[in-house]
Amino acid sequence: SHRSRASPQSLVAMAGPGWSLTMHSVRHYARCLRSSSALITSRTTSTASRALDATDQPPLIIEFGRYGCSKASLQVGRGANRSADDKAGVIMEAMGPLVSVAGEDAAFVTATAMGVADGVGGWKKHKVRGVKPISRRVNPAEFAARLMLECGERLATEHADLDLSYNAADCNTILTESHKEIVENTGKKFYGGATVCFTSIDPTRHVLSGVNLGDSGWRVFRDGEVFAASEDQRHSVFTPWQLCKKWDDLNVIDDDPDDADAQDVDVQVGDVVIVATDGLYDNLYDSEIGEVLTENIASFSASELAAELVKTALPLMQQKDISSPFSSRATDEGFFVMGGKIDDITVCVAKIM
């Protein structure tokens, strides 16, 4: 096993009131439910009506779902909790129904695609230039949500034509064009940085096309194990690759969208695709994600699977005496770190049927 754990009794004690834990589920998460803007959930199903391709395979049926929770919801009763959730609600209202926000995470789901962006929290220390009052600081969620809106709208428009052949290079182009639109043409003065990941599934060709920049990522699970995955991109354990919109004299990391990992992968009936922010991957090993999927895939919808993964990761974030993917990675780089990593978490799931 990857993880050394405290006993179940001590896990319940450390999790506090409102929690009921099993090995792979948190059956009641009252803290998340306190604010609707802290929790995002949706469901969409796609079927393809196109003619069969040269492989004579029937078109795939794909069910999508998403679920997210802000780290502020772990801090019930604090002003920061209400402030973060209020800001998320304002952003979602501005973006429309395509984009959901949980803390500094944002996500979209279309008929054939899904994606996440994780706003870089370090941007909060910067004050927005040219905006009154001058004390207004950057809200990283705004850039993440805008990036998801641009990517999601482009993917939805492209896939309105179901005869379109789609690949990873097209996904990379969409990412580059979306970033360019935000940097050059968006009238409102806002800034920030984010990691970004999205996938598009062609139901007729049975191909997933994915693009990832940073430490969010996608996975294709087959029979409970990782069949394919995006490349994790980091400058260091604490610094992922990221895109940004900045003013000229600000010295921050600004990676090139053309350097994003882009892949095409064959998928089949029974596969489950996960697109998630690092709030999931820092706290659950791939083997644990696979166990959750295996235990629940027969009876859970895509949205319910997404929720189960989030609820499984949440209590582990607060444990200080366990190993985690985050602590293992930090230790490998010479840092002594134990426990999970408290963070916003957003998970999108596609069940391929």
d(CA 23, CA 62): 28
Residue 215 gets which letter from DSSP?
S
Q: Give, for 301, the enclosing helix (H) or strand (E).
A: none
pLDDT for 223 equals 97
pLDDT for 330 equals 83
pLDDT for 66 equals 96
Number of H helices and number of E strands within the chain?
A: 9, 17
Q: Residue 177 burial (CB < 10 Å; 0-12/13-18/19+)?
A: middle
- Report the largest interatomic distance among the alpha carbons of the chain, rounded to a whole angstrom: 61
pLDDT for 9 equals 30
Per-residue pLDDT of the chain (353 residues; tens, 9 = 90+): 556 544 333 222 222 222 222 222 222 222 232 233 334 444 555 544 333 344 578 999 999 999 999 988 776 444 444 555 566 666 666 667 899 999 999 999 999 999 999 998 776 666 666 554 444 677 888 889 999 999 999 998 765 554 456 799 999 999 999 999 988 876 667 788 899 999 999 999 999 999 999 999 999 999 999 999 999 998 887 888 888 777 666 667 777 889 999 999 999 999 999 999 999 999 999 999 999 999 999 999 999 999 999 999 999 998 988 989 888 888 877 888 888 999 999 999 999 99
SS3 35: coil
* Alpha helices (runs of H) in 23-139, residue ranges in sequence order: 30-33, 79-95
pLDDT for 186 equals 61
SS3 333: coil
- Answer yes or no: are the C-beta atoms of 282 and 302 closer than 8 Å: no
SS3 349: strand
**204 φ/ψ sector (left φ>0, alpha ψ -120 to 50, else beta):** alpha
Q: What is the pTM of this model?
A: 0.81
pLDDT for 86 equals 61
Residue 58 gets which letter from DSSP?
P
Tokens of 250: 């600000």
